[in-house]
Amino acid sequence: MSFKEVSAHCDIPCKIYDPIVIQIAALTIVRIIDIIEEKNFDTSKSEDSSELARLTLEKENQARIVKDETRIIWGDYFKDPQIEAFPNIHEVVHSIMMQGSKCKQSLERGNAEKLVELVNNFSEIFWSTKNIEILRVTAPYPPALEMVVPNL
């Protein structure tokens, strides 16, 4: 059997995209910043320096996850019909990229909170493209910020 042409809409099977990974990563950034603030590290102690370095590295990893997973959904899922319905999606994604970078560069909680809200906005758009109603709920774990979930 031979095929003359093969094509695919997405890199992965359609209909399994979900922005929840992005939301959890953004919430994790806020939580890590809170932990760093709560611990009041003494960087003259090697244990404190080591833990602070690990937390900072993980905060930056989570920001990378936000950026990478947002790019994947934006690049693979959003096609002409979705873009026509939500022409601001490019601006939303760019804002997430810029805010993710700010979260990597600093320990300011406000930057992370803004990232969470941008990710929530992205999630609302995503679910709207599927005609699925959403709810804004408080995350059931620290930092207990608002997140967007499908109303299933």
Q: Please state, in angstroms and as integers, the Cα–Cα distance from residue 71 to each residue in 2, 28, 82, 106, 119, following that order.
A: 34, 19, 15, 22, 12
pLDDT at position 16: 82
Q: What is the mean pLDDT of residues 91-96?
A: 98
Band (1; pLDDT cuts 50, 70, 90):
low
CA distance 152 to 57: 35
pLDDT at position 80: 96
CA distance 52 to 33: 10
Q: Read off the pLDDT of residues 99-145 as tens digits, 9 standing for 90 and up.
A: 999 999 999 999 999 999 999 999 999 999 999 999 999 999 999 99
Residue 14 C-alpha from the chain's centroid: 20
Band (2; pLDDT cuts 50, 70, 90):
confident
pLDDT at position 25: 98
Which domains are present in the chain? 20-150 (1.20.120.400)
What rounded mean pLDDT belongs to the chain? 94
- pTM of structure: 0.90
